[in-house]
Amino acid sequence: MEIGSAQKLAWENKTLKGFNTTDVALEFGLLTAEVGEAFTAWRKGLPDFGEELADVFLYLTALAEMNGVDLDSEVARKIEKNTRRTYERNEHGAQIRTSDV
């Protein structure tokens, strides 16, 4: 499934079911909660880890839709940008970006 299609389907489901479609701050809070649930599922090795990641994606697409962001295009653009970047490890072992061509 394409990101854009998923974004539209997720939005249609939210509106059909009467979920939040206007409060951006609330949606960020709900997204944060879903990230926490995904982390817990991963940390505990629970079988619903994939479903929790899907929930994170769905809340993220809702935020994009609320703000008029074409997430499909933005993800493609960001991936392309990231492929041009280079990194080196600093003295602490952290990856530091060395170019942003």
pLDDT of residue 100: 76
40 with 4, same domain?
yes
Task: State which residues form the domain around 83.
Answer: 71-101
61 with 40, same domain?
yes
Q: Report the C-alpha gap between 6 and 1 in whole angstroms.
A: 7
60 with 77, same domain?
no
Rounded average pLDDT per 10-residue block, the chain, 101 residues: 95 97 97 98 98 98 96 96 94 92 69
88 phi and psi angles, rounded to 5 deg: -135, 150
37 with 64, same domain?
yes
9 with 56, same domain?
yes
Entry pTM: 0.87
